[in-house]
């Protein structure tokens, strides 16, 4: 398994202007997959990054919906993740540390999956699924903190029988890279960071949480580039 990265030690500073800049630079590192893969965004933040990669490589764009399972007392942090097909990944040591029961974990995962289903229905109204069996799947996010959200996406993608799974991100913590790398065929990371504290936002000059509306705008802009006649009003008309 290969890894393409620049390793940074305790150096938390902006590396990218925004997600668009990060996506363009990531696309340059993925040149060998030009015309021969499918780019899968991890919504929401991975969508603008994946759009740039798909454009640069001239490959189809799709998404794999996954979402963290929040820690009850600290919803900004998570102890695992769920995907739209029910794939679940949890940080077992953290679950024990939090004192959560199996029933509690299942209940929270079910709540998260309900939200994922809502998002999938919303985004699929603009972007139809792309078959990936026998092809290379490139899973793209704007960064990896713990890596569990991406692990859930990888677990879900394996069910679709791609020939190869590549995870591509602009930045990631070393611990996340260590978790994800053994589970995929290749990890492409522009900056792998050694640091006692890590936040994806720290590496972007302009970074904020995207809304569903902004994700839809990204998808529709992508579709208009491919099909100038595209209009959201025509969805489902054929």
Pick the CATH number of 2-65+135-234 from 3.40.50.150, 3.40.50.2020, 3.30.70.1150, 3.40.50.720: 3.40.50.2020
193-198: average pLDDT: 82
pLDDT at 77: 77
155-182: average pLDDT: 96
pLDDT tens string 4-48 = 445 544 455 788 999 999 999 999 999 999 998 999 999 999 999
pLDDT tens string 46-93 = 999 999 999 999 999 999 999 999 888 887 778 999 998 888 899 999
Q: Provide DSSP, the chain.
A: -EEEEEEEES-----BSSHHHHHHHHHHHTGGGTTS-EEEE-TTTHHHHHHHHHHHHT--EEE--EEEEEETTEEEEEEEEEETT--EEE-HHHHHHHT--HHHHHHHHHHHHHHHHHHHHHHHTT------TTSEEEEE-S-BSSSHHHHHHHHHHHTT--SEEEEEEEEEEHHHHHHHGGGSSEEEEEEEEE-SS--GGGGBSS--PPPHHHHHHHHHHHHHHH-TT--GGGTT--
Domain positions in the chain are 2-65+135-234
Band of pLDDT at residue 198, cut at 50, 70 and 90: confident
179-208: average pLDDT: 92
């Amino acid at each position: 398994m290969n890894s393409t990265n620049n390793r940074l030690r305790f150096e938390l500073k902006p590396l990218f202007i925004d997600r668009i800049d990060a996506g363009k630079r990531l696309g340059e590192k993925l040149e060998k997959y030009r015309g021969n893969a499918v780019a899968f965004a991890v919504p929401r933040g991975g969508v603008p990054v994946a759009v740039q990669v798909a454009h640069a490589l001239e490959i189809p764009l799709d998404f794999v919906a996954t979402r963290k399972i929040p820690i009850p007392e600290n919803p900004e942090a998570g102890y695992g993740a769920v995907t739209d097909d029910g794939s679940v990944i949890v940080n077992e040591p953290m679950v024990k540390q939090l004192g959560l029961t199996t029933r509690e974990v299942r209940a929270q995962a079910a709540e998260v999956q309900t939200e994922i289903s809502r998002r999938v229905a919303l985004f699929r109204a603009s972007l139809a699924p792309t078959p990936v069996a026998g092809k290379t799947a490139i899973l793209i996010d704007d960064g990896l903190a713990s890596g569990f959200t991406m692990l859930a996406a990888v677990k879900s993608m394996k069910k679709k029988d791609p020939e190869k799974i590549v995870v591509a991100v602009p930045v990631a913590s070393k611990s996340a890279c260590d978790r994800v790398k053994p589970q995929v065929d290749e990890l492409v990371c522009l900056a792998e960071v050694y640091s006692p504290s890590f936040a994806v936002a720290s590496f972007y000059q302009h970074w904020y949480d995207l809304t569903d509306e902004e994700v839809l705008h990204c998808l529709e802009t992508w579709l208009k580039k491919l099909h100038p006649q595209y209009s959201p009003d025509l969805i489902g008309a054929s």
